[in-house]
Amino acid sequence: MLPYLFTSGWWTAGPVALLYGAFTIWMLVDAIRRQEYLWVILILAGLGIWYFFYVYRGSASATQGFELPGSAKRKRIKELQAQIHHLDNAVHHYQLGDIYFRQGKFPLAEQCYRAALERDPKDIDARGHLGQCLLRQKRAAEARPLLEGVCAEDPRHDYGYSMMALAEALTALCEPDAALAIWLKVTAQHSYARAKVQLAELYLAKGKKEPARMELTEVLADDAHAPAFQRKRDRFWIRRAKSLARRSREST
């Protein structure tokens, strides 16, 4: 039996039904775009509101694909604000900045990181995350010296996240050769989809289709066997990898 929104009665229903139908179609389109085919069935069964909260809203973040590890909690924000009020030390400013970063509130995160560095200018974590924050605000030229300093001091900082941010900054500054060298260092140590996909993009831009395909094939193969939490985290890059793989095949 077809869902109610596809029956003739739906189109002559009142405004509430029309709004619900439009919402359902919106969620259906999003689920198909994300290749969430099980959710397509569930949405058709009337569970569109669940999809909105568990998938759509959960991933509709300004940091999608570029997030820091961890989660952002309102309760923790209150705790840190109270600690800053009473103690005003660098670590609390830095931790609050990380929460704002994960929420996509980059100007607030920047203020916190700068406040942390005023209190402890040598803090490598605050410098690295400030660099990432500036990069997400499309200020790659400002981010570059911070990220270069952090990576020179500790190439493995933040499990390679700082190195990835440096490569992205170099790409944004139109230095693809320098960026490619950084991506090769990252992928030699980690199997991040974020790194492999952007390395493949640079290969394709240089006309090196075979090494690009190798990177994309590895990304898609790893995703097929990844745990659920990792697949959710990497969804942005997997969609990008599939798109790049199609484009590379069409251009042959």
Question: Three-state SS for 77?
Answer: helix
Residues 48, 77: Cα–Cα separation, whole Å: 31
Nearest to 46 by CA among 1, 5, 13, 12: 5
User: Model confidence over 110-159: pLDDT tens digits?
Assistant: 999 999 999 999 999 999 999 999 999 999 999 999 999 999 999 999 99
Task: Say whether both 23 and 83 belong to one domain.
Answer: no
Q: What CATH number has the domain bearing residue 81?
A: 1.25.40.10
Same domain, 171 and 123: yes
> Is residue 49 included in any domain, yes or no?
yes
Q: Which residue would you say has higher pLDDT here, 184 or 60? A: 184
Same domain, 169 and 71: yes
> Has this prediction a pTM greater than 0.85?
no
Does the pLDDT value for residue 37 go beyond 50?
yes
Residue 51: is its pLDDT beyond 90? Answer: no
34-38, 43-47, 203-207 — which one is most confidently predicted on average? 203-207
The last residue of a domain, from among 12, 28, 59? 59
Same domain as 16, residue 54: yes
- 43 is written with which tokens? 């949405």
| CA angle, 189 then 192 then 193, to 5° | 145
Asked, for residue 121, whether it belongs to a domain, the answer is: yes
Residue 123 lies in a domain: yes
Tokens 């140590």 label which residue? 189
Closest of 65, 94, 93, 109 to residue 232, by C-alpha: 65
143 or 19, which is more confident: 143
Return the top range by mean pLDDT from 11-25, 94-108, 171-185. Answer: 171-185
Q: Which two tokens stand for residue 42?
A: 């569930």
| Whether residue 210 sits in one domain with residue 171 | no
Q: How many domains are contained in the chain? A: 3
Residues 95 and 146 in one domain: yes
Own/partner long-range contacts of 1-10 (Cβ < 8 Å, ≥24 apart): 3/44, 3/45, 3/46
181 lies in a domain?
no
Q: Are residues 109 and 159 in the same domain?
A: yes
Query: Considering the domain boundaries, does residue 51 fall inside one?
Result: yes
The dihedral region occupied by 68, where left means phi > 0, alpha psi between -120 and 50, and beta the remainder, is beta
Same domain, 150 and 238: no
The percentage of the chain sitting over the pLDDT mark of 70, rounded to a whole number, equals 82
Residue 238 belongs to what domain range? 191-252
Question: What pLDDT is attached to residue 1?
Answer: 37
Please say which residue of 118, 141, 175 terminates a domain: 175
